[in-house]
Amino acid sequence: MNPVLIHEIYHKSPVTILEDVSVRDALNTILHKGINGLVVVNKASKVVGVLAVQDIAGATIPRQFKKNIHMAAAMYRKGFFSESCLAIQDDPVSKYMRKNFVSVNLQDNIMAVTADFLKNDLYIVPVIEDGKLLGVITRSEIKKALAYGMKLQELCPT
């Protein structure tokens, strides 16, 4: 098998979190599930965003430091990172989630999704059909598709 369409490779058990859950609880879920991102839903179970580890990490870095690594290094002081983490921990994930997220459907092809992963530095892409969340594509699924493409299937967990 050499998967080329999303329905052949997507992960059918997405981990979701409500948009009003705290960043701390979201990170706790990420850590306990061993994943890098979550699909964010509202109370009606509609997908409203995605939240990845890099979105949480990005929230701890002051805006002026994001474009200037040298400034971030120069302005660093002991305890600053911990203070930044504590400052956002009770905020709702809706404050930091990606609201302009990419989604795919079952008939999209893996090349298009891989290109999106590279262009937008993605970690998680919801698979949505008729407004319903069916699963996700993560970097693990991209890795599996690459392995199949290179005939390394025996190394891929099913």
- What pLDDT is recorded for position 33? 95
Contacts of residue 88, defined as CB under 8 A and 6 or more positions apart, other chains included, come to 23, 56, 59, 60, 95, 96
- The C-alpha atoms of residue 46 and residue 27 are separated, in whole angstroms, by 21
Overall number of domains in the chain: 1
DSSP string, 18-63: ETTSBHHHHHHHHHHHT-SEEEEE-TT--EEEEEEHHHHHHHTS-H
Whether 89 shows a pLDDT value over 70: the answer reads yes
Task: List the CATH number of the domain containing 86.
Answer: 3.10.580.10
Q: What is the mean pLDDT of the chain?
A: 87
pLDDT tens per residue, range 101-111: 889 999 998 88
Q: Which amino acid is located at 40 in the chain?
A: V
Domain span holding position 101: 6-155
Name the pTM for this structure: 0.85
- What pLDDT is recorded for position 153? 65
Confidence band of 85 (pLDDT split at 50, 70, 90): very high
pLDDT tens per residue, range 40-63: 999 999 999 999 999 999 898 877
- What pLDDT is recorded for position 39? 97
- On whether residue 1 sits in a domain, the answer given is no
- On whether residue 55 sits in a domain, the answer given is yes
- What pLDDT is recorded for position 96? 96
- What pLDDT is recorded for position 45? 93
pLDDT tens per residue, range 115-137: 888 888 788 999 999 989 999 99
- What pLDDT is recorded for position 142? 87
Whether 17 shows a pLDDT value over 60: the answer reads yes
Contacts of residue 21, defined as CB under 8 A and 6 or more positions apart, other chains included, come to 92, 93
